[in-house]
Every structure is written in C-alpha cells, then in structure tokens.
Amino acid sequence: MKVLVCISNVPDTTTKITFTDNNTQFNTNGVQFILNPYDEIALARAIELTEGDGGTVTVINVGDTGTEATIRKALAIGATDAVRINAKPHDAWYVAYQIAQYVKTNPFDLILTGRESIDYNGSKVAGMLGELLDLPSVSIIKKLDIEGDKATVEREIEGGKELLTIPLPFVAGAAEGVAEPKIPNMRGIMSARTKPLVVVEPVEVKTNSEIISYETPAPRGQVKLVAADEAAKLIELLHTEAKVI
C-alpha cells in the first residue's frame, strides 16, 4: 500500500507571535518551526498501516527550503521518502491544488492529513483534496483501520460516534486517537539524511485569498475572584460590570 501524508511546517506553540510591514507579514525571526502535531498523528498511523506489508509512506510539503528540517524529521520518524513543492503556501486552496496536481501523476492508495494545522486551524485541505481528486474525503477521524481494499473510519459526532466504510483510495484528516506520535530514534535520524527528498516546482494557479493584515488578540483584563459562598456578589458583578445578564 502506498500512503501519502501531507505535512505542515508550523510555529511552535510557545512562540511569541509578532508581525512586520505594518502588520501584513508574519515575523519569522527567532521562531522555532515544528512538524504540525496533527500531521504527526497521521504520519504515525500511516507507518503502522504499512509496517510488514512492504508498503511505503511518502510525506509531501508545500514550502520553501526552510521547511526541509521539518521534512527530515518526518523521514526520521519513519517515512520512506519525501516531496517538497517549492512554493510558499499562500492558503489552503493553493496547498491542496499543488498536492492534487502531484497526486494526479503519482497516485496513492490513501492520502492523510492532520485534522488542521495549528497556525491557521482551517481544516480545509483534506476536503479540498478530495474534491480536486474526485475521491471520498472524511475530516477529523478518530480511528482508521484497513482490510483489503476497504477502510473503516470512526468519527465523533454530536451525541455519539459515526462509523464509515470507505473504499480505497480516499482522503482523511486525522485527529487525536488515530495513533500516538512516534519519537525518532538514532537509527531513524541517521537514515533520514539519505532518504530521497524530491523537489517539485509548483503549478501556476490563481490564488483566491489575500491577507490584508494580522492582529493579535486583545490582552486579557484583570480577573476578580469571588468566594464560592458569595453568589449574590457574583450576580451583582455580572449585572453591573460584566453586563452579561
């Protein structure tokens, strides 16, 4: 089985976010970038599904040369090979379109993404890939098992769980529970240096969105603590200060 895992290069969650050029550009100075955690989950499950059957796991990223350290980490975790589409990821549509064009000439049995990237939290790429490739797509899956040419997928829905049977190939966005992220060992780190990393030039496509400016959330205000036995005081503050009741 051939599995493709789409990975993102995202800022570490401890990063202090700032902007430049009148708040129109993300300031990358001093920022530590990591492999998107949800993509790590997808990668871990892909590796588990292909272990022992001679299958392969390819990771693909849309990004410039600055993303190659993240790609090499994915190879160290256990991916077989990697593809980097040499372009800045303008938005989810652009990323999905570039990956779809690659897949059209390099088909896979299964395409996995993370449920979302932790920088923009859009959850769009899996659905767009399915549409562009004319394949079934399922977002935010919690469990994935494959038997023969069919997969069983579990999703959480309001009030319960949804079980789906899907024929291969298809696209899925993996969430927590699909697999435990794997930590690269020394052997994996050493082998990652020699695993194939193919660089592909992007396909020309019109972008559908433009970032006008960024802004950070408003700073948190002061907090007033009210004792548990002073319900009347809490109600008064909600009326007079918070004005939410």
Whether the pTM exceeds 0.75: the reply is yes
Alpha-carbon separation of residue 2 from 25, 45, 46 (angstroms): 37, 13, 9
Per-residue pLDDT at 158: 85
User: What are the residues whose beta carbons fall under 8 Å from the beta carbon of 87, sequence distance 6 or more?
Assistant: 62, 63, 64, 94, 98, 201, 202
Residues 200-240 pLDDT 10s: 999 999 888 888 898 888 887 788 888 989 999 999 989 99
